[in-house]
Amino acid sequence: GGGAAGRGGRARGLRNGEHAGEATARALAAKGAKVAILDLAEQRAQKVAEELGGIGVKCDVSSEDSAKAAIARVAETLGEPRILINCAGIAVAMKTTSKDGAHPLDIYRKVIEVNLLGTFNMIRLFAVRAEKLDPLEGGERGVIVNTASVAAYDGQIGQAAYSASKGGVVGMTLPVARDLARSGIRVCTIAPGIFRTPMLAGLPQEAQDSLGQQVPFPPRLGEPAEYGALACHIVENQMLNGETIRLDGAIRMAPK
């Protein structure tokens, strides 16, 4: 995952992410945010952050100690963050049962730990600091944007672990928003459809086009910059709170 923190009004942020996160970091930086990218891939995080005038910090989002240390470093270097974008995540394709037997529990647990527990870990550690900040216009102290997936609703064959983890992110969006309302911290979630991820980018162009044609409109893969644009709008629009937004071109996934 990654993170962003910065000085200056609402443009302050802390971001967790891969390529959707990178696009969001670039979009936030373009609007004046000081950006910190938190990721296990520290060198990549530092490279992108340097381009944006921010910092890259190694972080395991599922570890309390790692996440605490990372957020503390962001605060010390760039100032207390007011924006958290959670994009860290892993996916596996594995059926509940197969010719090899039952779905390995350790693999299921790992997906839940990173995608769901990791998201909540970053939320709680960010929020406990943000609620101590001086309120901005309208009493707002911070904004959290999580990443789910259309798999939370339309989980395909082999997505038991992934869909459960993303369904958990969707399920906690409203209660966490209600928990943090008294502190002026908003919480929303984006549920992307089929996007041009590094995994999909490695497929032949014909395969990418075929996947894109499954999207009603526009009939193409989503671009990370479109995720970044929505994340920035959530930050800027104070009435968006407690909501999960499907960013998917109206696709509804088939079983396979």
Catalytic residues: 162
d(CA 93, CA 157): 8
Is there a contact between 162 and 155 (Cβ–Cβ < 8 Å)? yes
Strand 97-98 and strand 55-58: the pairing is unpaired
How far are the Cα atoms of 85, 142, 180, 223, 240 from residue 134, in angstroms, in the given order? 20, 10, 15, 35, 21
| CA atoms 44, 199, 23, 151: torsion sign | negative
Burial of 183 (0-12, 13-18, 19+ CB in 10 A): middle
Estimate the crossing angle of helix 42-51 against helix 19-30, to 10 degrees: 20
Counting Cβ atoms within 10 Å, is residue 76 exposed (0-12), middle (13-18) or buried (19+)?
exposed
In angstroms, the CA 93 to CA 162 distance is 8
**Which of 123, 147, 120 shows the shortest CA–CA distance to 246?**
147
Cα 100 to Cα 138: distance, rounded to the nearest angstrom: 56
